[in-house]
Amino acid sequence: MAATPISLWAPNPSTGERGTAIKFDSNEKGSIVYANGRSIFIKNLDTLESISYTGHVKPTTVAKFSPSGFYVASGDSTGTVRVWDIAGDEQILKVEVKAISGKINDLAWDSENGGKRIIAVGEGRERFGHAFTIDGGNSVGEIAGHSKPITSVCVRSVRPFRAVTASDDTTLAFFNGTPYKFSKTIRTHSRFVQAVEYAKDGSLFASGGSDSKLFIYDGSTGDTICQLGTDDGNEKHSGTIYSIGWSQSHPSSLASFSADGKVMKWDASTQKHVTTWKLADSPTPEQQLVGGRWLEGNRLVALAYNGDLTILDDRQAEPVKTIYSCQKGIIGAAKCPKDSGVFVGDHSGRVFHYSNEGVCKPVASSSSSNIIGLSTSQDKVLSISMDDSVREINPSEVAYNVNVAVPLPSQAKDISARSTDNVTLVVTSDEARLIESGNSLTTIPLDYSATACAISPKFAAIGAADGKVYIYETTSKALKKLKTLTNNTSTITSISINHDQKYLAVGEQNGKIMIMRSLMIQNSI
């Protein structure tokens, strides 16, 4: 019987290298589209319903909805842009274009007939940008005028079409179109320009950069109108401005998102500051804002470096909610006691609790070290990480028990807890240890290099680097060696004992999974 997926709990956007603006997009349905790993995700910020696209073979970097809403254009680290259909379930590829020779930093659609042309920009050798049609990938002009990689691009949504690019060379380039032809260089910033964005009606565009400055320009001519924040005392950014978002319903309203942890709303018609949301008093590097969008209506979304998405309403002083999820590779998971969801740890060191409905919450006082494994006992969830300790999570509070931390002599390799009581097996490379309620029961040295483990009411199984599985009896809360299984041919990476102890599943480094009929019999299915 084949397993059928019920739902997808999508990760939050990847934020990559520090000092890099993260580009993502939104639509009128309240969904955002963004890159993480080698996939593109579309997540509804209200229902959390998500879909994924896995057509790229290299790490993805950016994705944008077409004006029609029927397509998504996505770019990756090799300079490849793929345009694919989201109207149906098959995600049919419309066109693939090798736009530049390096990473795609940003994409912009024009608005003609729901989107006929795309400009892709980023890092390259021969060029830093390329404009092309989605019907065949034919060139529609030349994106030139910069001496360093292009960080951002926007296209005017009304005729006559215009395009603007921002670059690490501290300048903006203004283009007439179509076909797109370089018109002039705009030199307003003194450091990297991180974001450029047109207002919905095309009358204005804005730019923000690493110099913490925000400028407004005429959308048709590219002439500089003003710098925002020069006459408002302290009402200006003190960190890099990574993103700009214009209101979809009020053409003169825009928001800026900065590494100083602030989202600021501005009125371009009066050139005045309107309000500030301070998402962190003294933002840590993880709390710095590296991206943002003005959603439909009055809502905005701000992206922190740690992947947290904060929803704002421009009529409210406080954030509406924060959407959490894993952002990096998952390396540990454990089902909650009493079937109340699942705990998941990723490479960032954070641990999250997902409810059965997919609502995610971070575990308080998470370890700063990478999580190695998680396991569920009778009423607790246990974790091991690179800080050489075993820690305990209280599922009802979604928080670590700060009073429980069992030190280990070296880094743990795996952890397995019994659901019938609070006895937990932890293995390092050269020892196995039984723990109960924060106390060590017994420890035995190992004459092999342990890599994985599993425990049940009667037995324990420890996998080794030599491909062998060692079986122990655990009925007396001690470890008594019974036998060695030699069926496997490569390093053991994962072990599981089923609930009635009739089967043992063993995963190997070579990708094979072997099922044993009994812990006492070596025959495999």
pLDDT of residue 230: 85
| Residue whose pair of structure tokens reads 């998680």 in the numeric block | 374
Pairing of the two strands 214-218 and 224-228: antiparallel
Q: State mean pLDDT over 173-181.
A: 95
CA dist 484 and 497 (Å) reads 16
- pLDDT, residue 234, reads 63
Q: Cα separations (Å) of 274 from 182, 229, 263, 354?
A: 35, 11, 11, 37
**Is pLDDT at 368 greater than 70 in this prediction?**
no
Q: Rounded to whole angstroms, how far apart are CA atoms 464 and 251? A: 63
Q: pLDDT-derived band of residue 31, with 50, 70 and 90 as boundaries?
A: very high
Mean pLDDT, rounded, for 271-276: 96
For 39, 388, 428, the CA distances from 447, given in Å and listed in that order, are: 42, 20, 12
Query: How open is the CA angle 218-294-71, to the nearest 5 degrees?
Result: 95
Closest among 89, 4, 9, 77 to 41, alpha carbons compared: 9
Which domains occur in the chain, in start order?
A: 330-524 (2.130.10.10)
Mean residue pLDDT across the chain = 94
Helix (H, G, I), strand (E, B) or coil at 164: strand
Which token pair is 259?
Answer: 């590494």
Residue 197 pLDDT more than 80?
yes
d(CA 87, CA 497): 43
Q: Has residue 520 got a pLDDT over 90? A: no
pLDDT at residue 375, as a whole number: 96
pLDDT tens per residue, range 373-431: 999 998 899 999 999 999 999 999 999 998 888 999 999 999 999 988 889 999 999 99
Residue 113 DSSP class: G
State the Cα angle at 523 between 521 and 525, rounded to 5°: 130
Query: What pLDDT is stored for residue 393 in this prediction?
Result: 93
Q: What is the pLDDT of residue 233?
A: 62
Q: Is the pLDDT of residue 16 over 90?
A: no
Question: Full-prediction pTM beyond 0.75?
Answer: yes
pLDDT tens digits along 63-110: 999 999 999 999 999 999 999 999 878 899 999 999 999 999 999 999
Distance of alpha carbon 105 from the chain centroid: 16
Separation between Cα atoms, residue 354 and residue 444, nearest integer Å? 35
| 156 closest CA partner among 32, 67, 25 | 67
Give residue 22's pLDDT. Answer: 98
The predicted model gives 434-446 an average pLDDT of 92
How far apart, in whole angstroms, are the C-alpha atoms of residue 365 and residue 360?
16
Using the predicted structure, report yes or no on whether residue 367 has a pLDDT greater than 70: no
Q: Residue 227, SS3?
A: strand
Residues 64, 357, 320, 324: is their CA dihedral positive or negative?
negative
Q: Please check the confidence at residue 524 and state whether its pLDDT lies above 60.
A: no
Confidence of residue 232 (pLDDT cuts 50, 70, 90): low
